[in-house]
Structure 1
Amino acid sequence: MTSVEVEITGNLQKLAPTKPDSMAIVNSLTFSSNGEQVIMSTDDDSMYLYDMRAGTRSRNINSKKYGCSHVKFASDAMCALHGSTKVDNTIRYLSLTDNKYLRYFQGHDKMVTGINVSPSDEMFLSVAEDKTIRLWDLKTYNCIGLMNLSSTPIATFDPEGLLFAAGLDNNLIKLYDLRSFDKGPFSSFGPLDNTDTYEWTSMRFSPCGKYILICTNSNVLFIIDAFSGAIKHVLQDHQNTKQIPLTASFTPDATHVMVGSSDGLIYFYDVESGMVAHRIPAPNNQTCHITEFSPVHFAAATADTKLTLWCANDELKAFASQPQ
């Protein structure tokens, strides 16, 4: 498979979709850290696991009692964390091998709006409508850190798992050292964006750790310099007529940002210039509100009411010939 050292710019022209897999609206999707699996959750209380090497759906998991959202692989790729959309606001830790819950993480008293797993150990962050960020360890039931804030936050770990960033009030970014986060942020950026027409909905570091990508429920994305806090680019050539949260992602070499658009296209922005480098038609011209690039390989997944896997090399062309 193509490694992060491959020149990705030219390969953007070669990205091709495989046969879409139809389902209910997808509400979250993520790759495993080795890029070999994808897990997703849908609005009909289901989760699906995909084997990226074979290009096939390998497992269906129902969560009819609790619902599911914000599904993430845990530190072990055969376990996952997910939020609940029914009964309560518990985060559930699931074994994908035997479909059994291993642990329940209770504490949020309103809907969980994001889960982010540390890339280096067994910790994870959760954010919720109760205006808190909670830090958890997979080995224990109780949260090991709690931050009460003035509004619903967004948060993410850096690529090394040494710090995390919190997005607050749609205009502030605060950076916390994981070893001493209770002492407050070691750096703060903002105000960055004074608007009341849209909301920040998620954030992520670039794989190189140099940038922070802010996603919103509009057609605006921000690329922020992670060291200075300066806005490097505002990306807004794509469209979002229904004002839904668009989940965008970096290519694994951090040279481009991939995002869906309500004009039926998928956009690739050049991180250095901020310009559109490439556009490709989305399957069935739908708005792919989730666009996720593999963290390791030159492969991607997009989702709306269909999951589509994308590849650009011979090894992954097996996707196109596999029935879903």
Structure 2
Amino acid sequence: MAMYSGSQPSAKRLADVIQSYRPAKSLKNSSQVVTSLDFDDTGEWLLAACDDESLQLYDCKLGKHSKELFSKKYGVHLARFTHVHTNCVYASTKQDDTIRYLSLHDNSYIRYFRGHKQPVNCLEVSPLNDLFLSSSLDNSIRFWDLRSANCAGLLNIDSPAQIAHDPTGVSFAVASHNHSHVFLYDVRMFDKEPFAMFPLLDDDFLKQFSYPPMMPDWSKIEFSNDGRLLMVATNSKFHYIIDSFKGELKCRLHRKAPTPVGRDGKWDMLKASGDLCFTPDAAFVVGGQGDKGIAIWDMSMKRLDKDKNLQPSLELDSPKGAASVVAFNPRNHIFATAHREVSFWLPDQHVSLPSPGQD
């Protein structure tokens, strides 16, 4: 039975149904830990990369597992759909640091992107075209075009960073934890200086946890779809939302607990891809909070306190364990979470499936 009908967005506003979300179906295909999730442009397919060197493809309409593909020789992480739902790119985790362009239809490689000398920690496809960005532990950011194996551009940095395209595909952000700064670059002038630099220091807040104040590791950076906000996710009990035009701190998102990453629960940049995301309408942020379920923050920020701290407006139980990876469907009111299994969450009135955990 289908999880939803059609491929168009629901006529209801997300704000009208956000409180009714529950896990509609959970799927477990092996003992793998899921390290990344990505929806295709149509919202009909979900792709998971797992630490058993497998790719798992899910049909979002039917709420079913569709296909399993293996990359035993090279490993797999950060699997991202291209703008063709039958193709993806992903980072290798062993043997070499090549990015691989794969046809999910026949499990054949279309192209290899070689250049990084150490593992890739971030991989993002442009929302505009066939360009994509990769960031690596070799302290470089590379620009690629799916149509060519040659690197289209190189940006050398002095430490590994998180990267994100803005919604227009014209600029991109580089979040440098080492510098506690977010840098904005024009894609057309990537070899020039950044056109904006936003410090994110927050010592007055951080000194209550340690002295000297220590910024927690950053796990992800993401623009809201309206381009106004920029999320800097961390591996701690709080995240940051900043103004993407001015760089001002808008709020800290507080949660009950950080989410474990990998099998041993230890923080590892190479096993993380972020446990929170904006909703497509930019009205909410959805994220994991360890074994305490799902937190949802309202970006109207009506509950913001005088120190710019924002508590969740809603918390949901997660019966299938921690949500170490979270992704929201771009076309429908569905989001997915994963750790050892993938769960699809829907507003209660849309659910037409068996109870959670049943196939």
TM-score range, shorter chain: over 0.9
Q: Identify which range, 68-77 or 258-267, moves more after superposition.
A: 258-267
Flag the 1:94–1:228 CA change in 2: closer, same or farther, 3 A: same
Structure 2 equivalent of residue 13 of structure 1: 19
- Structure 1 segment 275-314 matched on structure 2, within 5 A: 275-284=311-320, 286-312=321-347
Cα 1:314–1:280 change in 2 (3 A) is closer
Tell me the distance in 1 between the aligned counterparts of 2:78 and 2:337: 15
Q: Which residue of 2 aligns with 1:156?
A: 164
SS of the residue corresponding to residue 268 of structure 1 reads strand
> What do you get for the CA RMSD once the two structures are aligned?
2.1
**Aligned partners of 2:40 and 2:83 also within 8 Å:** no
- What's 1:185 paired with? 194
Where does residue 183 of structure 2 map in the other structure? 174
1:40 is the counterpart of 2:48: yes
Q: Deviations over 1:155-195 (max 9, x none)?
A: 11011111111111251111111111212211111144455
Q: Tell me, in whole angstroms, the C-alpha distance in 2 between the residues paired with 1:300 and 1:236.
A: 20
From 262, 270, 278, give the equivalent of 1:250.
278
Kindly indicate whether the alpha-carbon contact (under 8 Å) linking 1:164 and 1:176 is maintained by their aligned counterparts in 2. yes
* Alignment partners' CA distance in 1, 2:246 and 2:149: 37
Q: Structure 1 residues 241 and 253 mapped into 2: Cα distance closer, same or farther (>3 Å)?
A: closer
- Residue 219 to residue 208, structure 1, CA distance change in 2 (3 Å): same
- Residue 245 of structure 2: aligned partner: 227
SS of the residue 1:88 aligns to: coil
Aligned to 2:219: 201
> What letter matches 2:345 in structure 1?
W
**CA positional deviation for 1:315:** 5.5
- Aligned partners of 2:80 and 2:125 also within 8 Å: yes
Secondary structure in 2 matching 1:159:
coil
Given the superposition, is the C-alpha separation of residues 241 and 175 from structure 1 closer, same or farther in structure 2, using an over 3 Å criterion?
closer
Cα distance in 1 between the residues matched to 2:58 and 2:95 = 28
Structure 1 unaligned regions, length at least 5: none
Task: After TM superposition, give the deviation of residue 318 of structure 1 in Å.
Answer: 4.5
The aligned amino acid for 1:172 is H
Segments ≥4 residues shifted beyond 3 Å: 191-197, 241-246, 313-316, 318-324
Deviations 1:21-70 (CA, angstroms, capped at 9, x unpaired): 12310011111122111001101000011111111111111111111000
Match of 2:96 in 1: 88
In 1, Cα distance between equivalents of 2:214 and 2:79: 29
- Residue identity matched to 1:86: K
What is the alpha-carbon distance in structure 1 between the residues aligned to residue 286 and residue 342 of structure 2?
16
The SS at the match of 1:10 is helix
Shift of 1:321: 9.3
Q: Which of 258, 261, 270 pairs up with 2:289? A: 261
1:224 Cα shift?
Answer: 1.0
Structure 2 CA distance for aligned equivalents of residues 184 and 96 of structure 1: 38
Shift of 1:229: 0.4
1:266/1:108 CA distance change after superposition, 3 Å: same
CA distance in 2, matches of 1:98, 1:196: 48
AA matched with 1:92 = R
Paired with 1:6 and 1:85, the residues of 2 have a C-alpha distance of: 41
> Residue 56 of structure 1 contacts residue 319 of structure 1 at CA under 8 Å; is this kept in 2?
no
Q: Which runs of 5+ in 2 are unaligned?
A: 204-212, 261-265, 302-309
Structure 2 Cα separation of the partners of residues 203 and 19 of structure 1? 28
Per-residue Cα deviation, 1:78-99 (whole angstroms, up to 9, x for no partner): 1000111111000000001110
Q: Secondary structure at the match of 2:62?
A: coil
Whether 1:214 aligns to 2:232 is yes
* Number of equivalenced pairs: 323
